[in-house]
Amino acid sequence: MKKKNTTTQPITPVISENARKVLQKRYLVRDAAGRITETPEDLFRRVATAIASVNPEEERGALGDIYYEMMATMDFMPNSPTLMNAGRPMGQLSACFVLPVGDSMPEIFEAIKQTALIHQTGGGTGFSFSRLRGKGTIVKSTGGEASGPISFMEVFNTATGAVSQGGKRRGANMGILRVDHPDILDFIECKTDQTKITNFNISVAITDTFMKAVQADGEYDLIAPETGKVVKSLPARMVFDKIAHHAWVNGEPGLFFIDTANRENPTPSRWSYEATNPCGEQVLGPYESCNLGSINLENHVIEKHGTTVTDWEKLGSTVRHAVRFLDNVVDANKFPIEELSKVNRGTRRIGLGIMGFARFLMLLGIPYDSEEGLEMAEKVMAFIREMAEKASLDLAKVHGPYPYYEGIGSPKRNSHLLTIAPTGTISMIADTSSGCEPEFSIIWYKNVMDGTHLPYTLELFEAVAKKEGFWSNGLPYLIVENHGSCRGLAQVPEKWQRVFATAHDIAPEWHVRMQAAFQKHIDAAVSKTINMPNSATVEDVRNAYLLAYSLGCKGITVYRDGSRSNQVLNAGSSDKKESSLPVNPAELHWGQKRPKEEISRGTRVKISGKYGKSYVHLYFDEEKRPMEIFVTPAADHGERESAILFGRLGSLALQYGAPIEEIVEQFIKSHEEAGRLGSDPYAIAKAIGTIISREGLVGDEGLKIEVACPSCGGQVAFIEGCLKCMGSKKTGAPCGWSQC
């Protein structure tokens, strides 16, 4: 619970150390030489002034002050493109877009060009590839055969890899294919190899017809998009099970319940929804986009008569101002494509959501996975909806309803008002929990100067533990051993074990029910990951899908813990050949050396150690098992012989069956025991971790390898449909990197 501002003086933002690092890395303006030229206070003032500038001159000063204070106090935060670009020449303020992909070469490559322009400005893009004819279909104009949607997804993927998103990160895409498309089986399997189509999340557009066939254990039709004719029928449960299996393997594909979404389409005469943004919470028409912003619920509680309660008055005020802020963004936005400008000023869609929900519940003493938790989610979101509707109706009385208004629903200023979006970096800036997700952990590690690692505990948990008398200096270490959770620890009273829930404490059913509770009062959708333990089964995934559909969710993403770093080879394909290794890697022992001809390919990473620059090469076989390590130091490297030796010894250990994670661990231990900052062993270990993360490699014995953040080397987790840096005991706090 943050303190209220009781003065009339301009507020100076209170920025945590972690938030400051995120701001410096991605948001604060730099000059031509790369030097930071603004403070966090300058940033918030720049954004507030730019957004207020679309109002009449006599209102700008007061509104600018209100907008600045909302951001400076962390009560509300707009999305990343708005923070990065408002008041600057680029001026593109939307987070996500959907672009149409037609069934012709000019339409396809026009979409690729538009994608590049959007990614340059910091936006993400979603596509439906359902209009493209199936693989092998005869193309009348040329007499040749169509290559199918997946081949063109690979073209989009390559183009995306060449364009950084707003110059800050790699672009993010969502690829969607209808479940009744002829190529659906290939689409479901297209990301089994995690080195391909890496710049896409994928989801299957699920129809009511398909779900009825699943429930009846019947067949359903595949329909050629170019003719509308039935080309084949498939057993619905077989397809459903295949989707569930692949999601169990690595978290993809997700499901997009396309008919559920279209039942709430306010502009049906203009389009039917076909696609979503990369994280699934925005169902958008062609050329539609959404500017997002999130209210920090942690800041909307108050002490009353010794009890912590929701500050409804403050929350209502924040909602009203946030709606006007986001409506202004529509007018302040500089779109890179004229069609985007036309459509988005036609719908005036905004996406107001929340963050800090997990900590909000903790402050109120409510367990996340409880009926009381679900009731509070519904109560808060119903209140926000009521206040947002009123604010949008009031704006419409002055400025008129959105131009595309068709008489469906009330004549609001905005076609859509509410969503719950991923808040990866903006929740770090606000120093709160992400979106509507539970806390990932209640403890982290922090580096100190002498090279040791000290536990860093969630302040709220520590405060409660001390107040209730169950705190001890050893408690953080017990929590670390308990995978970041206090559940099951005898030292922690049962009430507080329940209140301080982490993502993997919560059963999948409760994750789905929480998503559905929010969805009841949201006109867009909810970005949420249904986290499952590593021991979860394919049946657990199926059940989550069925529950989400029955409860009215518009989409669902599941993630089984460790599945992306513990890839199951040859999954879902009975016709794949078995491994050709002459020796089972799990049975290798010293004296049995792997033959070199098994090496398939390799990749390299440039490193800078204390004695100079080197390249670390990691080669692997066709089953993606690491085989050889080489270190190539620069000519002026101060310890060339040692650097080469590190690689040769690591390579030798791999050839004799040593797991890659144990080799990396030895590099790190040698660095820690020697106490040498910037050492080659540590740099090599980080490089190997980066390659493992980038290539989706597996250990020799199928053991879990901790995926490393490619920016800082920290632990990553799959949250809100995206891989994000969570920090680690080796690197400390999160750095702000995310895949999306």
Note whether residue 182 is domain-resident: yes
CB atoms inside a 10 Å sphere around CB 168? 15
> 107 with 253, same domain?
yes
pLDDT at 5 over 60: no
> 238 with 334, same domain?
no
Query: What gap in Å lies between CA 133 and CA 155, rounded to an integer?
Result: 16
What torsion do the CA atoms of 260, 263, 265, 266 make, to the nearest 10 degrees? -150
> 146 with 229, same domain?
yes
pLDDT at 86 over 70: yes
Rg (CA), the chain: 26
Considering 252, 274, 281, 298, which one is annotated as catalytic? 281
Structural domain count of the chain? 4
> 259 with 342, same domain?
no
DSSP 3-state of 308: strand
DSSP 3-state of 558: strand
For 290, the token pair is: 């959404």
Query: What is the mean pLDDT of the segment spanning 704-717?
Result: 60
Mark whether 279 is an active-site residue.
yes
Q: Give the side-chain half-sphere CA count within 13 A for 231.
A: 17
**What confidence category does residue 476 fall into, taking pLDDT thresholds of 50, 70 and 90?**
confident
Single-letter amino acid, residue 592: Q
Note whether residue 533 is domain-resident: no
Mark whether 274 is an active-site residue.
no
CB atoms inside a 10 Å sphere around CB 613? 15
Phi then psi dihedrals of residue 542, to 5 deg: -55, -45
Note whether residue 526 is domain-resident: no
> 266 with 286, same domain?
no
Note whether residue 288 is domain-resident: yes
Q: Give the residue from 255, 276, 297 where a domain finishes.
A: 276
CATH code of the domain containing 316:
3.20.70.20
Residues 6+ apart with CB under 8 A from 166: 80, 81, 84, 85, 90, 119, 120, 121, 122, 123
Residues 6+ apart with CB under 8 A from 724: 424, 716, 717, 718, 734, 737, 738, 739
CB atoms inside a 10 Å sphere around CB 488? 10
| Mean pLDDT for all residues in the chain | 86
Note whether residue 572 is domain-resident: no
Query: What gap in Å lies between CA 476 and CA 317, rounded to an integer?
Result: 38
Query: What is the mean pLDDT of the segment spanning 425-437?
Result: 93
> 374 with 485, same domain?
no
Mark whether 725 is an active-site residue.
no
> 262 with 337, same domain?
no
> 244 with 322, same domain?
no
Alpha helix (H) ranges present in 179-269? Answer: 184-189, 208-216, 236-250, 258-262
In terms of Cα–Cα distance, which of 220, 119, 108, 114 is closest to 164?
119
Residues 6+ apart with CB under 8 A from 413: 327, 348, 392, 393, 395, 396, 399, 400, 401, 402
- What pLDDT score was predicted for residue 8? 56
Note whether residue 666 is domain-resident: yes
DSSP string, 381-447: HHHHHHHHHHHHHHHHHHH-S-TT--SSS---S-S--B-B---HHHHHHTTS--TTPPBS-SEEEEE
Query: What gap in Å lies between CA 509 and CA 490, rounded to an integer?
Result: 26
Query: What is the mean pLDDT of the segment spanning 68-87?
Result: 96
Tens of pLDDT along 682-701? 778 878 877 776 666 654 33
Task: Report yes or no: 258 and 276 within 8 Å, Cβ to Cβ.
Answer: no
What percent of the chain is modeled with pLDDT above 70?
84
> 602 with 692, same domain?
yes
- What pLDDT score was predicted for residue 590? 40
Query: What is the mean pLDDT of the segment spanning 492-519?
Result: 96
Among the residue ranges 62-66, 429-433, 615-619, 692-696, the one predicted with the least confidence is 692-696
- What pLDDT score was predicted for residue 483? 83
Q: Give the residue from 259, 276, 293 where a domain finishes.
A: 276
- Find where tokens 């193309």 sit: 139
Q: H or E element: which one contains 524? A: none
Query: What gap in Å lies between CA 520 and CA 174, rounded to an integer?
Result: 24
Tens of pLDDT along 272-293? 999 999 988 899 999 999 999 9
> 128 with 265, same domain?
yes
**What is the helix, strand, coil percentage profile of the chain, to 5?**
40, 20, 40
Q: Count H helices, E strands: the chain? A: 23, 25
CB atoms inside a 10 Å sphere around CB 434? 28
**What confidence category does residue 445 fall into, taking pLDDT thresholds of 50, 70 and 90?**
low
Q: For residue 683, give its domain range.
A: 585-706
- What pLDDT score was predicted for residue 740? 58
In terms of Cα–Cα distance, which of 655, 652, 648 is closest to 581?
655
For residue 490, give the DSSP letter. Answer: T
Q: Give the residue from 365, 394, 429 where a domain finishes.
A: 429
- Find where tokens 């594909």 sit: 253
Query: What gap in Å lies between CA 648 and CA 625, rounded to an integer?
Result: 17
Note whether residue 737 is domain-resident: no
> 88 with 109, same domain?
no
Considering 79, 277, 291, 299, which one is annotated as catalytic? 277
Tens of pLDDT along 120-140? 888 899 999 999 999 999 887
> 291 with 419, same domain?
yes
Query: What gap in Å lies between CA 410 and CA 548, rounded to an integer?
Result: 28
> Residue 443 forms beta bridges with which residues?
457
Query: What gap in Å lies between CA 275 and CA 256, rounded to an integer?
Result: 8
Considering 189, 199, 250, 279, which one is annotated as catalytic? 279
For residue 298, give the DSSP letter. Answer: G
